[in-house]
Amino acid sequence: MSRQEPQQLPVTRLTGIGSQSAARLQKLGIQTLQDLLFHLPQRYQDRTRTYPIASLTPGMTALVCGRVEYIDTPQRGRNSVICRISDASGLLSLRFFHFSIQQIQQLRPGTQLSCFGEIRMGFNGLEMVHPEYRTLHAGDEPTETGLTPVYPLTEGLTQSTLRKAIKQALELCLSNTDTLTDWLPAAVRQQYGYPDLAEALLTLHSPPPTLSAERLAQGELPALKRLAFEEFLAHHLALLLGKQHYKTWQAPVFIGDISTKTRFLAELPFQLTGAQQRVISEIEADCSTPHPMLRLVQGDVGSGKTLVAAIAALSALSSGFQVALMAPTELLAEQHFRNFKRWFAHTDTQVLYLSGQIKGKVRSTTLEALADGSAGLVIGTHALFQDSVNFQNLGLVIIDEQHRFGVQQRLALRAKGQNADRVPHQLVMTATPIPRTLAMLQYSDLDISVIDELPPGRKPVTTSVIPSERRAEVIARIDHWVAQKRQVYWVCTLIDESEQLQCEAAENTAVYLQQALPGVHIGLVHGRMKASDKDAVMQAFKQGDCDLLVATTVIEVGVDVPNAGLMIIENPERLGLSQLHQLRGRVGRGSLASYCLLLYQSPLSETGKQRLGILRESNDGFVIAEKDLELRGPGEVIGNRQTGQIQFKIADLSRDRELLDRVQTAAQLICRQHPETIKPLVQRWTGGSLQDLDELFHTVYSP
């Protein structure tokens, strides 16, 4: 590929695109001719038919044909020209604010015009402001064949500049000699009835006369589907490539000391479940090779992921390597810290804690202990991966509740290790909010283990859906529950409002509940409290000094207090189902029956009822995630929680969802039979720099 392919040429090669337009195009992510070709119309103008004036309504954009009746030249005090045209059915005003003398002369009464523009209601009936117009002579066709594309713009860029540029780009890149390469194997195209790349792009940029605007707007054309499919495929391949690349790096080998592990397990008050054991052996197998593990452990809330992480950590530590465990919230990180300190108490491992709130002397001694290797295990928030944090011998990185971090963060973390001659193993854990169909765009860079079994003796949580009018009943139930020495969570949700409002709501609720329940010890925890205060409240709750914990959604992940078996969630209709399932996972952790009351604000919409109904019927995180996907669509499910979500150019997770099922098969075929197409596909769609990709590709596919 010594010669630059036409599609890689900069847009400035086109007539009419100077440095100024190029800068504007850059704002739309367009630098090359290829980028330009993948900038698809957002809709099409239909000039294939004319509308009788009588059929026009405000808001329509239409082509109209008529005879100029009169023109109202500008007078003092008025700054617009009005021209009235008529057809057999009625009269329409054309209004111009900018005009030239020639223009006025051209619009003489009797002239036939075709005008295109948006109809609005003016002072004297319907009008078109600044229509595009043409004068017609005898025999002229008012209509055009084909639909006119309307492209997404950015400030300073006009439709006509963009249309002209794209037209040139099509000619340059799709001519017979220099064709934009179609990287999708013919077998895949044929299987799904997709057109080739050139045809697909031509269809979408300059639709043939046989296509209607309606058909194009439906988003179901094979031309469009093909591009969306290719885009999904490219993202999937990018993750696979990243994984294969990472696997070529060197990683420490954990030799695993059996006696340490046996002693550790003997100290536990319970036995590992079969699923935990299986996942642990998968992790051990990964870490006994000199290449890095990239493993995702999926397991429903309460399935015991933390312990799996602890045993993986033990294996690293007993092999002489450091371990970092990252949790998404301070609350969860603190809880892990406490658990790990207890679990590792009879080993010689020093366990440390680090978050953004740890400052001053404590922070500097912590950083020193990590840098000189005297601390084996550190637990914390994302503050763990700031530049100032250095490890002596990091062998394993554990990320808990991965769904809170997103793909980009995970990849960024991985990149951080890549300057060393050895990189740490990676273990990420999640409670599966992402349904299987979407996993390939989220997790294809990871090997997956599933903990598909809960510890024995767990009773499913009984969930009820209750309108807030019955609050008094709910409060009576709390009273009764606390009298039996059991504990309660009350969760306040205000997800769309500011964190401050959410915290205030929790504060108010705590005051209100204290009045209603004078004999009950109430604690309050929310995101705006100091870490040490939060921690004190959580400890009091854990030790049973506090009966009722009023909280915001900060307790969503990880918090583990088995004696708390009743949870009230206020305004559950505001949250996603997977998030509710996570919250509910705080109860049902002991061996006694547990309950979750969803206290909704009535009236509740039909979908709202359906959604809460799903939660009442199921305790299975997989089922709930799938149903949530059906009801809300994938964009919401991923978008709601993923900060580093993938930005698609053309594909739309809701519209093109059915394509996801095809992606994996096609990717397999490509990896087996056409590996040379992986790099250009990934480059085309993910915009990765060619150099990075070259390097990635080289390490993976060179012998």
Contacts to Mg ion by CB under 5 A: 305, 558
Check: CB of residue 28 under 8 Å from CB of residue 92. Answer: no
Check: CB of residue 402 under 8 Å from CB of residue 428. Answer: yes
Cβ closer to ligand ADP: 130 or 338?
338
Closest distance to Mg ion from the beta carbon of 329 (Å): 11
Take residue 292 and report the two structure tokens written for it: 């890095």
| H/E run at residue 447 | strand 447-451
CB atoms within 10 A of CB 605: 9
- CB-count burial class (<10 Å; 0-12, 13-18, 19+) for 171: exposed
Answer with the entry of ligand ADP, Mg ion, none that 589 interacts with (C-beta below 5 to 8 A by kind). Answer: ligand ADP
Rounded Cα distance, 425 and 389, in Å: 18
Closest distance to ligand ADP from the beta carbon of 343 (Å): 10
Applying CB under 6 A, which part among 186-194, 272-280, 350-358, 644-652 lies near ligand ADP?
A: 272-280
Q: Is 4 helix (H, G, I), strand (E, B) or coil?
A: coil
Closest distance to ligand ADP from the beta carbon of 307 (Å): 5
Closest distance to ligand ADP from the beta carbon of 589 (Å): 5
| Interhelix angle 305-318/330-343, nearest 10 degrees | 60
Q: Is 114 helix (H, G, I), strand (E, B) or coil?
A: strand
Closest distance to ligand ADP from the beta carbon of 528 (Å): 25
Rounded Cα distance, 593 and 617, in Å: 16
Near ligand ADP by CB under 6 A: residue from 6, 207, 299, 433 = 299
Applying CB under 6 A, which part among 19-27, 253-261, 305-313, 661-669 lies near ligand ADP?
A: 305-313
Near ligand ADP by CB under 6 A: residue from 17, 301, 379, 566 = 301
Near ligand ADP by CB under 6 A: residue from 7, 34, 45, 306 = 306
Cβ closer to Mg ion: 339 or 502?
339
The dihedral over CA atoms of 242, 443, 588, 307, expressed in degrees to the nearest 10, equals -20
Establish if 272 lies at the interface with ligand ADP (CB under 6 A).
yes
Angle at CA of residue 185, ends 182 and 187, nearest 5°: 135
Q: State the pairing for strand pair 132-136/294-299.
A: unpaired
Near ligand ADP by CB under 6 A: residue from 32, 168, 276, 578 = 276
Helices (H) and strands (E) counted in the chain, each on its own, are 25, 21
Cβ closer to ligand ADP: 127 or 401?
401
Establish if 37 lies at the interface with ligand ADP (CB under 6 A).
no
Site track 463-502 with ligand ADP (rule: CB under 6 A), x = hit:
----------------------------------------
Angle at CA of residue 109, ends 107 and 113, nearest 5°: 55
Backbone angles phi, psi at 611, to 5 degrees: -65, -50
Near ligand ADP by CB under 6 A: residue from 32, 161, 273, 553 = 273
Site for ligand ADP, residues 65 to 124, rule: CB under 6 A: none
Closest distance to Mg ion from the beta carbon of 571 (Å): 25
Cβ closer to Mg ion: 241 or 428?
428
Applying CB under 6 A, which part among 88-96, 268-276, 279-287, 515-523 lies near ligand ADP?
A: 268-276
Q: How far is CA 13 from CA 6, 127, 198, 365, 440, in A?
A: 10, 41, 20, 58, 38
Rounded Cα distance, 702 and 677, in Å: 15
Site track 412-451 with ligand ADP (rule: CB under 6 A), x = hit:
-------------------x--------------------
- CB-count burial class (<10 Å; 0-12, 13-18, 19+) for 405: buried
Near ligand ADP by CB under 6 A: residue from 142, 304, 328, 380 = 304
Check: CB of residue 555 under 8 Å from CB of residue 491. Answer: yes
Nearest residue to 553 (alpha-carbon basis) of 523, 511, 584 = 584
Residue nearest to Mg ion (CB): 558
Cβ closer to Mg ion: 422 or 641?
641
Q: How far is CA 651 from CA 151, 191, 382, 503, 664, in A?
A: 16, 20, 31, 38, 16
Closest distance to Mg ion from the beta carbon of 437 (Å): 24
Cβ closer to ligand ADP: 170 or 327?
327
Applying CB under 6 A, which part among 59-67, 99-107, 264-272, 626-634 lies near ligand ADP?
A: 264-272
Q: How many residues bind ligand ADP (CB under 6 A)?
A: 19
Cβ closer to Mg ion: 305 or 526?
305
Answer with the entry of Mg ion, ligand ADP, none that 307 interacts with (C-beta below 5 to 8 A by kind). Answer: ligand ADP
Closest distance to ligand ADP from the beta carbon of 586 (Å): 9
Closest distance to ligand ADP from the beta carbon of 271 (Å): 6
Rounded Cα distance, 678 and 230, in Å: 11
3-state secondary structure 330-381: HHHHHHHHHHHHHHCCCCCCCEEEECCCCCHHHHHHHHHHHHCCCCCEEEEC
Site for ligand ADP, residues 555 to 584, rule: CB under 6 A: 558, 560, 562
Rounded Cα distance, 547 and 541, in Å: 7
Near ligand ADP by CB under 6 A: residue from 126, 307, 331, 681 = 307
Applying CB under 6 A, which part among 270-278, 320-328, 481-489, 546-554 lies near ligand ADP?
A: 270-278
Cβ closer to ligand ADP: 20 or 271?
271
Q: Give me the residues that bind ligand ADP (CB under 6 A), please.
A: 270-273, 276, 299, 301-307, 431, 455, 558, 560, 562, 589
